[in-house]
Structure 1
């Protein structure tokens, strides 16, 4: 029964990721929080389990996304090489930081983050960089390598605490310096892989150190949830992307922003209550 529930979550998360153009973590974390709560897991470990499991599933989905964007030549590999080390180190460290934060405080933090994403989706996206930047060319407007490494570290830490692949942070960072949207999204998809791997390993390690009493887990990663969500989201993301081309993207994003607002308010209510 648990596996069926996780398959459904994976189907919804993948479809939403393809439909709305956002990472599955913004859907997976809230759904896992609700399911783990209904399973009567320890309230102080539920949020950590949701974050760790979300990052583990993003390993699979990011590979699929990376391959698709690379075929279109939209991955800026030189920029990826500058950002990736900091992201991996930052996300591993972020998992340790998240492990030290109480479940209630994590609910508040994630709630605020979801409201920020909702705001950006509802009111943002009107101004996009124009022009064309070749994937092998590093725009002159981008910061130096050390600064990119540092930025990657900050994005990595935040990604671990929010349980996401970092797209919500990497894309705005790149477009801010003049990278066209297609290249920013493609490079962000590539960056999602080191973030997810390092974050999942971190949540596994730090979770095992805390010796949580939850069945079918490795640290803060739920095995059944990982298998169910990863297997389904890999396929349904492509379906969501096809449907997105049929419907109005602007209306879709506004509808999803409303959904994220409700979920964010729910987390704030649970955490602040």
Structure 2
């Protein structure tokens, strides 16, 4: 099972959008990547359950390199809280490894709907939360970081995302980061969270039959090269744009993206026959 020119071009264009979204919003870009990867795989005859697992596993591998690029950019702007990012990230890494194991034993449809519901819940919570008072300082508590990082890591491993889209609402609402700190630190923590998920998806997919060419377990190396090759340079562009926006505008842009992503993965647009 080999991909054709149409699938390759679609993945290259997707990588550009993913990189920009990652740098701008501190998310892995899974809301763009996963649906396109899923289509590219099923269109060449890959079983849908295997296709969604490969989409999630490969997505995490792209998130890893894009997050490194974005974190360097945000670090230069001074908005990465490294202590929080590292402790949250290591906790999330362990959780993501567990989540990847769970995902490799769940049906594809449950994974897609679970992904969509988790994202919508985060968007609604951010939209309804009261604004943070400017004088509040970010929470600096190792136990709090561990208790938030581990379960969010499990969820990110199950639904194949770097965790930024779930962690940013937690950072803003529970840990009192401002929006720029949340985006910057989230990009850094995704480096760790994605590693746990990648290892799990590779190990749990090694003995599976029906994988497309160039697959290492549930990570497809061809898709990874196409997506990562375009997303990494674009992440830097996204970082530059993020720091030109006010925290309030950044927050509402983030919420809009989350709502779209959640509805897309649940299948709402498909039920309504909308081509978006």
TM value normalised by structure 1: 0.82
Residues 105-116 of structure 1 aligned to structure 2 (within 5 Å): 105-116=110-121
Give the 3-state SS of the residue equivalent to 2:104 in structure 1. Answer: helix
Deviation at 1:91, TM superposition (A): 0.9
Rounded Cα–Cα distance in structure 1 between residues aligned with 2:21 and 2:89: 26
Cα separation, partners in 2 of 1:150 and 1:259, compared to 1, 3 Å:
closer
Q: How does 1:120-131 map onto structure 2 within 5 Å?
A: 123=127, 127-131=131-135
Secondary structure at the aligned position of 2:206 is classed as helix
* CA offset digits 1:66-97 (Å, max 9, x no partner): 10111122222222332232111111111111
Alignment of 1:69-108 (within 5 A): 69-108=74-113
Q: Which residue does the alignment assign to 1:185? A: 183
Stretches of structure 2 lacking an aligned partner (at least 5 in a row): 272-276
What's 2:274 paired with?
A: none
Q: Within 2, Cα distance between the matches of 1:233 and 1:155? A: 24
Change (3 A) 1:267 1:106: farther
1:217 deviation in Å?
0.7
- For 2:78 and 2:164, the matched residues in 1 are separated by 18
Unaligned runs of at least 5 residues, structure 1? 134-138
From 155, 167, 171, give the equivalent of 2:152. 155
- C-alpha spacing 1:19/1:77, structure 2 compared with 1 (3 Å): closer
The reply on whether 1:166 has 2:199 as its aligned counterpart is no
Q: Does the aligned pair in 2 maintain the 1:62–1:189 contact within 8 Å? A: yes
- Alpha-carbon deviation of 1:220? 0.5
Post-superposition offset of 1:198 = 1.8
- 1:260 counterpart residue number: 261
Counterpart CA distance in 1 for 2:149 and 2:251 is 29
1:51, distance to aligned residue in structure 2 (A): 0.5
CA distance in 2, matches of 1:243, 1:146: 34
Q: Of 29, 47, 54, which aligns to 2:59?
A: 54
**Per the alignment, in what secondary structure is the counterpart of residue 116 of structure 1?**
helix
Answer whether contact 2:73 2:239 (CA < 8 A) is retained: no
| 1:67 maps to which of 72, 79, 90 | 72
Q: Write the distance in 2 (CA, Å) between the matches of 1:65 and 1:224.
A: 22
Q: Do the aligned partners of residues 115 and 39 (structure 1) sit closer, same or farther apart at CA in structure 2, a change above 3 Å counting? A: farther
SS at match of 2:46: coil
Shift of 1:14: 2.2
Please provide the CA RMSD for this pair.
2.9
Deviates more, 1:35-44 or 1:188-197: 35-44
Q: How many residues align?
A: 262
TM-score by length of 2: 0.81
Deviation at 1:194, TM superposition (A): 0.8
